[in-house]
Amino acid sequence: MLNANGSHHSLLKVRVNPRSSRNQVTGWKDGVLSIKLTAPPVEGAANKACIDFLADVLGVKRGSITLVSGATGRDKVFQIEGLSERDVNDRLQMFE
């Protein structure tokens, strides 16, 4: 998708499993990326950890990732600025 200023952005659906032994992508299920995080789901810690982890995995700045929905649940939607949906899928291809 293109936003108002003409740059690419994409939406990424994620299911987060907090309090894991390590941060890792566990794969895809029905178009949703499953992630395990060490952070607990309190006071936004898991949301911040998820953004940090996704930024590292996708190779983008943390400020490029915004939580669009799901702040208090396991199922979340993130907007990634500067990457098309194809770019995101290419960078996450190894986890399929």
Tokens of 89: 């899928």
pTM: 0.89
How many CA atoms, within 13 angstroms, populate the side-chain half-sphere of residue 44? 5
Tell me: pLDDT of 2 over 90. Answer: no
Q: pLDDT tens digits for 41-53?
A: 999 999 999 999 9
Q: pLDDT tens digits for 46-76?
A: 999 999 999 999 999 999 999 999 999 999 9
94: confidence class by pLDDT, cuts 50, 70, 90 = confident
Give the CA angle between residues 10, 81, 53 to the nearest 5°: 90
Average pLDDT over residues 23-42: 94
69/6 Cα distance (integer angstroms): 23
50/23 Cα distance (integer angstroms): 9
Q: Which domains does the chain have, with CATH numbers?
A: 9-95 (3.30.1200.10)
